[in-house]
Chains A and B, each alone.
Chain A
Amino acid sequence: MNALPESGASLAERTIRLTRAELLRYAAASGDHNQIHQDETVALAMGLPGVIAHGMLTMGAAVQPVVDWVAGLKPGADGTRARIVEYGVRFTRMVVVDAVEGAEVHIAAKVGAVDESTRIVRVDLTVTAAEQTVLGKAQVRVAVP
């Protein structure tokens, strides 16, 4: 049985860089080919400040530190593996991806709450770009054997 983490404990911090190449890769993998994520001219015509990252790319990348933490947990005596049972976010701000620099996204994963009886650990993600929060109420629930 894994020891449950303390509420408030930091699980991981990570800074990732999203470039236009990452956006193209996500478009191909997800099938979301909206041109606001690829073409500056289209994005500007839509009134956006520039090409923006898919919200789902930010959401998908932001949970990866938790995926890594879960992968490192031991299976239960009956073989049950730790797993993410729920993940939700609000898309509060766009991530503008510069053609040359891309965009830096910082992810901090912290234990928000621990339920000793159900062994569900809530992990809260703080996700920022250009020093502003881009995902609101980003919470992951992990079942820990």
Chain B
Amino acid sequence: MPVNPELLGRAFPATAPIEVTAASVHAFATAVLASDPDASIAPPTYPIVVQQAALDELLADPSTGIVLSRVVHGEQRFATTRDIVIGDVLTGELTVTAMRALGPATMLTAETVVRDAAGEQVATATSVLVIGEEDAA
């Protein structure tokens, strides 16, 4: 089944709140080989945790026509309005902002707005997924 063209513009409900704990920042910072894994500021790519939770909703929805084994991560971008720090509680709201054909594949842009507990936008995480008609790789 091809990717459902009606996905374009679709907004998904906010993720469950994700608590930015000292343990999760330490584990993530250590994993990306940070020089100071005990810093209170989360690494620049930490919002992927929220983006991943949001993408899981998209990928779990059978109406999308997306088969996970055919998905390749093409691009990733983060823009932040402030640093994410230990103690933040974040949610992500994903919208499919672009879709275009790339040969037999579909390039899908998923933009996740990351908000803190007060509802303020702290980051935007943008993933470009390349979804093949055949199994990836």
Contacts and interface: CB of A to CB of B under 8 A. Distances in A.
B24 interface: yes
Interface stretch (B4-12, B71-79, B88-96): B71-79
A89 B75 contact: yes
A29 B27 CA distance: 5
Contacts, number: 98
Interface string B26-41: 0110111111100100
Given A22-B33, A25-B30, A30 B75 contact: no
B132 to A, nearest CB: 12
B137 interface: yes
- Residues of B in contact with A, size category: 20 to 34
Contact of B32 (A64, A83, A87, A91): A64
A55 B32 CA distance: 11
B5 to A, nearest CB: 24
- Residues of A in contact with B, size category: 35 or more
14 contacts: A25-B30, A26-B31, A28-B27, A29-B30, A46-B135, A59-B45, A60-B32, A64-B33, A64-B34, A67-B43, A84-B44, A87-B44, A91-B73, A91-B76
Given A46-B136, A59-B76, 7 more contacts: A25-B30, A29-B30, A36-B137, A46-B69, A64-B34, A67-B44, A88-B75
